[in-house]
Amino acid sequence: MSENQTPEWTPELDKENSAAIWAHVIPFLAWLLMMTLLGDPGGMHYLWQTIGGLILLFSFRPWRWYSKPKFRNLPLALGVGVLVFILWVGLESASFKNFLPGVSAFYERWFVDIIHFGTLRDPLEVGENGLHHYDPLTTGWPLFWVHMLGTTLVIGAIEEFMFRGFLYRWMQGSPFFKKNIGHMDVKMCVFVAIVFALEHNEWLMGFFCGLLYTWLVVKTKDIWAGIWAHALTNGLLGWYAVHTGSYWFW
């Protein structure tokens, strides 16, 4: 039987399917809930969110339904991670704004923050010390590194298991974990990219980057490649935010 054929449905398979669904979905939904309840994830808020995310991941262990990491996929994963970072910040970078300010402003006005569609980003609020509350000189370096851990490994893993591991295959049939993760379904790839885009402020780049992450996972047949790429992208965004003051990316 091929991976995309539906196996004979049994009570044991039904139980495992339910367990696999919850293991992929609950950490993601809980992360969103923590964001809502804690508000702006600055300082100690991100500490609790990161700890909560780690507890959820190790409690539900979604990696049980995947093969071990294939380190031969690491170079491609890192390349995709860097490419996504470049796409994410490129049109709003200082060099691009100096080169084509009109294009940069057009992108920011119409393809960033769908809630405030048609407007430029609001200026970043700073404290009495003139620094943003994400700045490590405000939070302290220990909390900065907690933030980096949360945005790289924790949310990177949670989102990849949710979007590429679960949603992409669940839409193709049940039990989703029996579906071939290396099978390219263009419609589902686009659908997952749209959902991924709507979760992010930079929704247009979120769409293109969602396509790239899904392509990477399908190409390598390795969910860990997607996690590595996603973690590197988010880590580079954190580094970029600190060095340029562009904390809206973080």
Residue predicted with more confidence, 157 or 128? 157
pLDDT band, very low/low/confident/very high, at 125 (cuts 50, 70, 90):
confident
Residue-level pLDDT at 55: 97
Residue 248, both tokens:
């809206």
Which structure tokens are listed for 225?
């490649």
**pTM attached to this predicted model:** 0.94
Q: What is the mean pLDDT of the chain?
A: 93
Q: Judge contact between 190 and 211, C-beta under 8 A.
A: yes
Closest CA to 30 of 3, 68, 59: 59
How many Å apart are CA 104 and CA 143, to the nearest integer?
32
Average pLDDT over residues 221-248: 96
pLDDT at 145 (0 to 100): 93
Task: Tell me what pLDDT residue 128 has.
Answer: 75
Mean pLDDT of 132-153: 91
pLDDT of residue 127: 79
Between 138 and 208, where is the model more confident? 208
What are the tens digits of pLDDT across the range 168-180? 999 999 899 999 9
pLDDT (mean) for 159-166: 98
Identify which of 181, 225, 186 has the alpha carbon closest to the alpha carbon of residue 4: 181
Task: Answer whether the bond into residue 7 is a cis peptide, omega within 30°.
Answer: no
